[in-house]
Amino acid sequence: MNTIAIVGRPNVGKSTLFNRLVGRRQAIMDNQSGVTRDRHYGYGDWTGHNFTVIDTGGYVHNSDDIFEGEINKQVKLAIEEADVVLFMVDAEAGLHGLDEEFAHILRRYIGKKPIYLVANKADTNLRAHGSGEFYALGLGETEVFAISSANGSGTGELLDAIVSNF
> Could you say whether residue 74 binds Mg ion (CB under 5 A)?
no
> Could you say whether residue 57 binds ligand GDP (CB under 6 A)?
yes
Q: Of these partners, ligand GDP, Mg ion, none, which one is at the site of residue 150 (CB under 5 to 8 Å by kind)?
A: ligand GDP
3-state secondary structure of 148: coil
Using Cβ positions, the residue closest to ligand GDP within the complex turns out to be 13
Q: C-beta of 43: minimal distance to ligand GDP in Å?
A: 18
| Angle between the N-to-C axes of helices 97-107 and 68-81, in degrees from 0 to 180, rounded to the nearest 10 | 50
The Cα angle at residue 59 between residues 15 and 119, in degrees rounded to 5: 40
> Is residue 70 classed exposed, middle or buried when 0-12, 13-18 and 19+ CB atoms within 10 A define those classes?
middle
The Cα angle at residue 152 between residues 91 and 71, in degrees rounded to 5: 50
Residue 13 assigned to a binding site: yes
Chain residues 72-131 in contact with ligand GDP, contact rule CB under 6 A = 120-121, 123
Which of 20, 109 has the CB closer to ligand GDP? 20
3-state secondary structure of 79: helix
Beta partners for 132? Answer: none
* CB contact at 8 A, 127 and 91: yes
Q: Taking contact as CB under 5 A, which single stretch among the options 39-47, 55-63, 78-86, 107-115 is the one that binds Mg ion?
A: 55-63
Q: Of these partners, ligand GDP, Mg ion, none, which one is at the site of residue 20 (CB under 5 to 8 Å by kind)?
A: none
* CB contact at 8 A, 66 and 10: yes
> Could you say whether residue 63 binds ligand GDP (CB under 6 A)?
no
Using Cβ positions, the residue closest to Mg ion within the complex turns out to be 15
Which of 74, 120 has the CB closer to ligand GDP? 120
> Is residue 41 classed exposed, middle or buried when 0-12, 13-18 and 19+ CB atoms within 10 A define those classes?
middle
Residue 52 assigned to a binding site: no
Binding residues (CB under 5 A) for Mg ion: these are 14-15, 57
Binding residues (CB under 6 A) for ligand GDP: these are 10-16, 30, 57, 120-121, 123, 148-150
